[in-house]
Amino acid sequence: MIFQDLLTEKLRPKNLSQVILLDRIKNTIGDGTNIQNMIFAGSPGCGKTSLAKVLAANRDSIYIN
């Protein structure tokens, strides 16, 4: 199976406006341009990986899972 053909990857949010976040997290992240380092913690399935991938997109960054 090719990685891009996975349904979870097709449905993953592609930009910050598609990610569903709590208001307190939206206020912390803002528009996502002024973030240097972040550590995400929480239960499985709450969107940590999706948010990290959206924030790292189109940047000179390292994504560590």
pLDDT one-digit tens code per residue, 3-45: 557 888 889 999 999 999 999 989 999 888 888 888 999 999 8
pLDDT at 27: 93
Two structure tokens written together for 14: 């592609």
CA distance 40 to 60: 19
Backbone CA torsion sign across 38, 26, 57, 51: positive
pLDDT tens profile 50-60:
998 999 887 88
Query: Using only C-alpha atoms, what is the Rg of the chain?
Result: 12
Measured in degrees and rounded to the nearest 5, phi and psi for residue 39 equal: -120, 125
Rounded-to-integer distance, Cα 32 and Cα 13, Å: 14
What pLDDT is attached to residue 3? Answer: 57
